[in-house]
Amino acid sequence: MNQNIKGTVLIIDDDPANIDVLGNMLRSDYKVLAATSGLKGLQLAQRLPQPDLVLLDIKMQGLDGYATCKELKQNEQTKNIAVIFVTADADIYSEERGLLLGAVDYITKPFNAMLVKARVRNHVLLKQGQDNLQLLVDQATAELRQEQGKLERSEKLYRTLMEAAPDSILLVNEQGDIEMANDSVEPMFGYKSLELVGNKIEVLVPDEFIAGHSQQRASFLQNPVIRSRVTLGKLSGKKKDGTVFPVDISLSPISMENGTMIIADIRDMTEEQRMQDQLRQAQKMEAIGQLTGGIAHDFNNILNSILGFSSIALNDEVVQENEELKSYLDIISKSGERARDLVKQMLSFSRGNYTGDFKPIDLAPVMHEVIKMIRPMLPASINVELDIEKNLPNSLADSLQINQVIMNMCINARDALHEQGNIILAVKKVIVKDEICNSCHEKLSTDFIEISISDNGEGISKENIEKIFDPFFTTKEVGKGSGMGLSVVHGIVHNHGGHIVVNSKPGEGTKFRLLLPYVNTRNTTQQSDVAATTLQLDGGSAHVMVVDDEALIGTYVETVLTEMNFRVTVFSDSNKALDYFQENSDDIDLVITDQTMPMMTGFELSKAMLEIKNGIPVIMQTGFSSIVDDKSARALGIRAFLNKPLDKNVLLNEIKVILNL
């Protein structure tokens, strides 16, 4: 027999797939029994040895979960078996109904393995502890009647069982006085067990909870007719030093010679709450990322036209001679570039959908560049200081994205100062121990490079710190902030494998600590700016077919290539493009196609063309795609995969390489 088996769990679910999933999670630690109906489950539950815990699906054919639970609790043989409901759509009403029937917990689908194991472990331990404790109490009572001398041995066994429990276990009388506490109360609450004996149970409860709920709880403790175990659920506990933390409390009454006593089992929920917060934050970021991806394609198509045609217009001789017109077009072009960068920022937290140019970089030049850019945006009454530790290792990062993050944080600091105060930027290597990321709620214990942005402004309340990374959350007036800034910061920093810690109090300023991983190298080379001149080609009358459902983009590409002596045929309908290709494939030297198009995607079109003419060079472009990426495109035989808005030089360079011009 496996020595690691810690108990028996019975799974009742009419879906064999769910039984397999739960069974695979638990089989290494527990003996797992399974039943595909409520009636079969009731039969298994009555066999000896009985299971410690039942995982019970609610929606089943025949006898549903509620009816099965009712039968279990009404049966004298099975009434003490702990029941956890398993459901895909739990709500407050179904949870209330389940708890009233005697269930101890809920697990929702889809299953989170970590939470399932933790909950099963705790309830199995509690059930086994209660069974053993009740058995021990009964045994001690019988021995006391037979022989008073056995009392000391019984008390020792009782204490051993109490101390073996991982949760804090208290024995409370009908007046709410603590009569016994195990040693687990010390790491959880900060009290030694003997300190609590004689105190009211309220010493472990926050004041605000006592004010609102103590009468209800006290009436429960003092009610001698209570006969079943009750789970109070997620509440708050108070440590000896006043710290408030989440707990889960279960109360089990036992009858003793001096009256009804209550066994209070208190479980520290801090770690589970942190994992739930982390999951909830990840779900928020994933949702806004999907929203961003949905609009990115159309937005980038629009930007492609704006940037492309403004670039063509700026090179026109008439425009070159008209300074006023040239300045207007220059503004349009720069505005388009800002919009393009904004889309990139938004996509940076669309998880897995945007990748930057990651390479080892020295953060010092990035910080100096930020200072140069931010200084004109600040009033003279705001002082900016920069402190960079010497000989820092490089960070594996995208310098553009890091620049955007720090600029964003500096603007936030400026707004918090209300035109008077100090902003301090610092970079140093740090060792982080047992800190929590305010953005994703992960516990951190490792080395990082820390970029800190501090201000002595108005600070942030504790309530708002919990919300500042939520998409669209802002405390600024309407028109003065979109609420996207810190969501973007979250995305960029976490795409870099980093984290964010916020230290702030109202009236005492704010310090944002961006923690980034590093590589043990030093980058001594300096990057040089690439000239923005347009690459010149001679197409030599090569025939290029352009397919894009956005007619303006097709016209733009046609204009650029026609000026360089290419023959260009443009289609906005992918089906018509394929028909033309079938008739004229021998005359076509290169295909440039969009990916996201109605009727037939660029991927499907490229596959069909490659079947007609093996080896035809294809360049695919996209405003955004969650289906096709560079790797999958090249696996099909596509020569290049480009993102919109198109960079003219990048496109021309790909054409030059592909056609050997």
Q: What are the tens digits of pLDDT across the range 407-431?
A: 888 888 888 888 889 999 999 999 9
> Where does the pLDDT of residue 74 fall: very low under 50, low under 70, confident under 90, or very high at 90 and above?
very high
The span from the CA of 515 to the CA of 440, in Å, is 13
Longest dimension (CA), the chain: 114
Both tokens assigned to 170: 């208290």
Residue 484 CB partners (closer than 8 Å, separation 6+): 346, 471, 472
- The pLDDT, as a whole number, for residue 639 is 92
Euclidean distance between CA atoms 312 and 212, whole angstroms: 70
For 543-659, which CATH class? alpha beta
511, two tokens? 């310090």
Mean pLDDT of the chain: 80
CATH class as words, domain 8-123: alpha beta
To the nearest whole percent, how much of the chain has pLDDT over 90? Answer: 23
Q: Residue 187: its pLDDT value, please?
A: 87
Please state, in angstroms and rounded to a whole number, the distance separating the CA atoms of residues 167 and 159: 14
Provide the terminal-to-terminal Cα distance of the chain, rounded to the nearest Å. Answer: 73
The answer, yes or no, to whether residue 547 has pLDDT greater than 90, is: yes
Contact by Cβ (8 Å): 292, 350: yes
Per-residue pLDDT tens for 590-611? Answer: 999 998 888 899 999 999 999 9
pLDDT, average across residues 374-386: 86
CATH 3.30.565.10 fits 359-516, yes or no: yes
pTM of the model: 0.40
Mean pLDDT of the region 636-657: 88
User: What pLDDT, on a 0 to 100 scale, did the predictor assign at position 455?
Assistant: 92
Q: Where are the alpha helices (DSSP H) in 471-591?
A: 485-495, 551-562, 574-584
Residue 588: per-residue pLDDT: 95
Q: How far is CA 134 from CA 82, 102, 129, 175, in A?
A: 15, 18, 8, 22
Pair of tokens at residue 241: 């030093």
Residue 539 structure tokens: 């197409």
- Residues in CB range of 37: below 8 A, 6 or more apart: 12, 14, 60, 61, 62, 63
Residue appearing with tokens 């017109």: 325
At 225, the pLDDT band (50, 70, 90 cuts) reads very low
Whether the pLDDT of residue 528 is over 60: the answer is no
Right CATH number for 165-268 from 1.10.1040.10, 3.40.50.2300, 3.30.450.20, 3.20.20.140?
Answer: 3.30.450.20
- Among 65-74, 91-100, 285-294, which is the least confidently predicted range? 285-294
**Lowest-pLDDT choice from 22-26, 122-126, 223-227:** 223-227
